Amino acid sequence: MDDETAPQKGTVTQRAIERIKAMIGEGRLEPGQRLPTERDLAAQLGISRSSMREAIRALTVLGVLEARHGSGIYVTQLEAGDLLETFGVVADLSRGPRLVELLEIRRILESTATALAAARITGDQLAEVEKHLAAMNATDDPEEILAHDLAFHRVIATAAGNETMAAILEGLSSRTFRARVWRGYQEEGAFARTRREHAAIHRALAAHDPEAARAAAAAHVGEVEMWLRAQLGP
Amino acid sequence: MDDETAPQKGTVTQRAIERIKAMIGEGRLEPGQRLPTERDLAAQLGISRSSMREAIRALTVLGVLEARHGSGIYVTQLEAGDLLETFGVVADLSRGPRLVELLEIRRILESTATALAAARITGDQLAEVEKHLAAMNATDDPEEILAHDLAFHRVIATAAGNETMAAILEGLSSRTFRARVWRGYQEEGAFARTRREHAAIHRALAAHDPEAARAAAAAHVGEVEMWLRAQLGP
DNA sequence: CCAGCAGGGTGGTCGGACCACTATGCGTCC
DNA sequence: GGACGCATAGTGGTCCGACCACCCTGCTGG
Tens digits of residue pLDDT in A133-167: 999 999 888 888 889 999 999 999 999 999 999 99
Contacts within 8 Å (CB) and 24+ apart, A172-176 = A172/A87, A172/A91, A172/A102, A172/A105, A172/A106, A172/A109, A173/A106, A174/A88, A174/A91, A174/A92, A175/A146, A175/A150, A176/A88, A176/A91, A176/A92, A176/B25
Residue-level pLDDT at B8: 64
Domain extent, residue B73, equals: 12-78
Question: Are residues B202 and B168 located together in one domain of the fold?
Answer: yes
Which residues fall within 8 angstroms of residue B165, CB to CB, at 6 or more apart?
A101, A104, A105, B109, B112, B113, B157
CB B101 within 8 A of CB A165: yes
Q: Residue A5 falls within a domain, yes or no?
A: no
Residue-level pLDDT at B5: 46
Q: Could you tell me if B12 lies within 8 Å of chain A, comparing CB atoms?
A: no
Question: Are residues B67 and B93 located together in one domain of the fold?
Answer: no
CB A106 within 8 A of CB A172: yes
Interatomic distance A194 CA / C28 C1' (Å): 75
**For residues A3 and B197, which has the higher predicted lDDT (pLDDT)?**
B197
Residue-level pLDDT at A234: 64
Length reported for chain A: 234
- Output the average pLDDT for chain A: 91
Cβ neighbour number for residue B186 with a 10 Å cutoff: 17
Q: What is the mean pLDDT of residues B67-93?
A: 92
Q: Residue A218 falls within a domain, yes or no?
A: yes
Cβ neighbour number for residue B138 with a 10 Å cutoff: 10
Question: Are residues B73 and B108 located together in one domain of the fold?
Answer: no
Q: Specify the number of domains making up chain B.
A: 2
Across the interface, whether the CB atoms of B104 and A165 are under 8 A apart is answered yes
Q: Residue B109 falls within a domain, yes or no?
A: yes
B106, amino acid identity: R
Q: Could you tell me if B62 lies within 8 Å of chain A, comparing CB atoms?
A: yes
B interface test, pick of A92, A94, A103, A164 with most B CB neighbours within 10 Å: A164
Which residues fall within 8 angstroms of residue B140, CB to CB, at 6 or more apart?
none
Q: Rounded to whole angstroms, how far apart are CA atoms A34 and B11? A: 21
Interface A-B: count of C-beta contacts within 8 A: 105
Domain boundary among B78, B101, B123: B78
Q: Could you tell me if A85 lies within 8 Å of chain B, comparing CB atoms?
A: no
As a dihedral over the C-alpha atoms of residue B26, residue B30, residue B31, residue B37, rounded to 10 degrees, the angle is -110
The domain that holds A113 is classified in CATH as: 1.20.120.530
Question: Are residues B199 and B94 located together in one domain of the fold?
Answer: yes
For residue B200, give how far its alpha carbon lies from the nearest alpha carbon of chain A (Å).
23
Q: Could you tell me if B18 lies within 8 Å of chain A, comparing CB atoms?
A: no
Banded model confidence at residue B68, pLDDT cuts 50, 70, 90 = very high
Domain boundary among B78, B112, B135: B78
Question: Are residues A59 and A99 located together in one domain of the fold?
Answer: no
Question: Are residues A144 and A183 located together in one domain of the fold?
Answer: yes
User: Alpha carbon B49 to chain centroid distance?
Assistant: 32
Q: Which residue is nearest to nucleotide C23 (CA to C1')?
A: B71
Q: Residue A99 falls within a domain, yes or no?
A: yes
pLDDT digit string (tens) for A69-107? 999 999 999 998 889 988 888 888 988 899 999 999 999
Question: Are residues A194 and A98 located together in one domain of the fold?
Answer: yes
Residues of B in contact with A93 (CB under 8 A): 21, 24-25, 64, 78, 83
The domain that holds B16 is classified in CATH as: 1.10.10.10
Q: Residue B5 falls within a domain, yes or no?
A: no
Question: Are residues B60 and B152 located together in one domain of the fold?
Answer: no
Question: Are residues A173 and A215 located together in one domain of the fold?
Answer: yes
Question: Are residues A98 and A214 located together in one domain of the fold?
Answer: yes
Q: What is the mean pLDDT of residues A31-43?
A: 96
Domain boundary among B47, B78, B109: B78
Please report, rounded to a whole number, the percentage of residues in chain A having pLDDT higher than 70.
95
Banded model confidence at residue B158, pLDDT cuts 50, 70, 90 = very high
Which of B232, B233, B197 has the alpha carbon at shortest distance from B218?
B197
Q: Rounded to whole angstroms, how far apart are CA atoms A119 and B162? A: 29
Question: Are residues A96 and A199 located together in one domain of the fold?
Answer: yes
Q: Is B195 exposed, middle or buried (0-12, 13-18, 19+ CB in 10 A)?
A: middle
State which nucleotides on strand D lie below 7 Å from a protein beta carbon: 10-18, 21-24
Which residues fall within 8 angstroms of residue A219, CB to CB, at 6 or more apart?
A197, A200
Q: Rounded to whole angstroms, how far apart are CA atoms A135 and A146? A: 11
The dihedral sign for the CA sequence B93, B96, B102, B107: positive
pLDDT digit string (tens) for A208-231? 999 999 999 999 999 999 999 998
Q: Could you tell me if B67 lies within 8 Å of chain A, comparing CB atoms?
A: no
Q: Residue B64 falls within a domain, yes or no?
A: yes
According to DSSP, the β-strands at B72-75 and A72-75 are unpaired
Q: Residue A47 falls within a domain, yes or no?
A: yes
Question: Are residues A109 and A20 located together in one domain of the fold?
Answer: no
Residue-level pLDDT at B3: 40
Report how far apart the first and last C-alpha atoms of chain B are (Å, whole number): 65
